[in-house]
Amino acid sequence: MRPSARALATDVGPHALLSQCFLAALLSKQGHSVNAITLGAQLNAALPASLGRLQALKELDVGSNKLVELPESVGELRNLEKLDAEGNALTTLPASLGRLQALKELG
């Protein structure tokens, strides 16, 4: 029997190294207690718009992927302090980043 995304998030602790499939499962299972996500060199598509549901998230590392955009919902991550999106094909950043009052580091 496969464990639920909530159980997996608990097993890996608050700092999770996630695949894109696991990220989608985590978002669908209310992974509100996750405070750091690293998705380096694992994504070939866009981040899900539901990313904004992770209200406890303080660090998001999506560096060295093939992302061409970040979802507008990233602006809903009110506790986000660090966002690393270097090494992607981003040409613009979402306007919603301006709402991230806790953001200290953008790379």
What are the pLDDT digits (tens) for 83-95? Answer: 999 999 999 999 9
Distance between CA atoms of residues 99 and 81, nearest Å: 12
What are the pLDDT digits (tens) for 54-89? Answer: 889 999 999 998 899 999 999 999 999 999 999 999
Instruction: Characterise 5 by phi-psi region: left (phi > 0), alpha (psi -120 to 50), beta (else).
Output: alpha
pLDDT band at 10 (very low <50, low <70, confident <90, very high): very low
Scored b (16 or more CB within 10 A) or e, 90-101 reads eeeeeebbeebe
Sheet with strand 82-84: strands edge to edge: 15-17, 36-38, 59-61, 82-84, 105-106
